[in-house]
Amino acid sequence: MTPLRCAFVVWIGWLRHFDAAAAWTSRTAWSPGFRSSRDVATGCAAAPADAKSDAVAAVTGVTLKVALDANGAAADRAANESLRFTCGEALDMVHRLRCCSDAVLVGRGTVQADNPSLTVRRTPCDRQPLRVVLDPRLELLRQKTDQGARFALLEDGLTTVVYHTVPDLDEDSLNLLETITVVYVPPTKPSGDNVPHGDYLSAATLTRDLRDRFGVNHLMVEGGPLTARQFLYEHQVDRVILVHASLCFRQPLESGLTEKVLVDAGLEKLGTEPCGVDQIEYWSRPELPWPTTELSKWP
């Protein structure tokens, strides 16, 4: 074999080796459940298999997800119990979003009405997000202690943080699991007519404390309309995923999440995409691009 032919064969073999290595790197970097070092640091899950060509940007900030009926109502007063009303594809999206998040936050009312676990179950995920509950007067923990109420968040042994405004709390009286952490935050006097009054937990204070104390870079707010409006009124929301189910409630409970509320919160509508039989509205701060070029590719 001439020196020139030998060099050509070596060059072809090197190219084949490079192509194989590149293909392996691409497979592992975007397989469900795999996280690069950047993804671990930011709390951004790997992209789904069908999004390989649309790399997911590092996701930080606050993502608000709310489910409404076709007319924008939050719940059905005629229902005897709280039931899931969005389609399976929308529920899959919610679990992917949880997997993309360092923490998932809800208010006390959501826990009492739905008794959620807030865990990732419908998509591969290498760790569960931190669960965060806003319970100013610690009513959930008191109901558990005094009345034997059963809430999944407080019994399943996974890490949960409960924010409250009760000073000089005797934690021993609550009989907490080791996985439950209660954090005192002084109540903030709200400004304006559109925010809830009483023992108010500032959304700005909460997001800052979650970042500094627990390392939460991407927070998913999955609470009801009251918690959603709280974060919106304080301009703490970076993007919104608004799921509109295909059904209409018989006795609708209005959510108060109008387009004006979202616009006043500094958000703009990016578009609407189908998700199974439901529709999803995507909103974001004008200066913040969506994590993927195609809206439906994330989460």
pLDDT at 249: 79
- pLDDT bin (cut points 50, 70, 90) of residue 18 is very low
Residue 25 lies in a domain: no
pLDDT at 265: 98
Residue 77 lies in a domain: yes
In terms of pLDDT, which residue wins out, 175 or 38?
175
Question: Which residues fall within 8 angstroms of residue 204, CB to CB, at 6 or more apart?
Answer: 234, 236
pLDDT at 79 over 90: no
CATH number at residue 177: 3.40.430.10
pLDDT at 192: 56
Of the chain, the percentage scoring pLDDT greater than 90 comes to 58
Token output for 225: 């309309």
Residue 6 lies in a domain: no
- Whether the ω angle into residue 196 lies within 30 degrees of 0, i.e. cis, is no
In terms of pLDDT, which residue wins out, 149 or 135?
135
pLDDT at 200: 84
Q: What is the mean pLDDT of the chain?
A: 81
pLDDT at 190: 62
pLDDT at 23: 33
Q: What is the mean pLDDT of residues 282-298?
A: 96
pLDDT at 45 over 80: no
pLDDT at 222 over 50: yes
Residue 5 lies in a domain: no
Residue 16 lies in a domain: no
pLDDT at 141 over 70: yes
Tell me how far apart the alpha carbons of residues 195 and 233 are, in angstroms, rounded to a whole number: 7
Structural domain count, the chain? 1
Per-residue pLDDT of 149-208, as tens digits, reads: 899 999 999 999 999 999 999 988 888 899 999 999 998 866 655 555 456 899 999 999
In terms of pLDDT, which residue wins out, 256 or 297?
297
Residue 72 lies in a domain: yes
Residues 187-196: contacts with CB under 8 Å, at least 24 apart: 187/136, 192/233, 194/229, 194/233, 195/229, 195/230, 195/233, 195/234, 196/226, 196/229, 196/230
Residue 11 lies in a domain: no
pLDDT at 108 over 50: yes
Per-residue pLDDT of 223-265, as tens digits, reads: 789 999 999 999 999 999 999 998 887 777 788 899 999 999 9
Per-residue pLDDT of 46-59, as tens digits, reads: 444 444 346 677 89
Residue 168 lies in a domain: yes
Give residue 185's domain range. 31-297
- Contact of 134 with 143, CB cutoff 8 Å: no
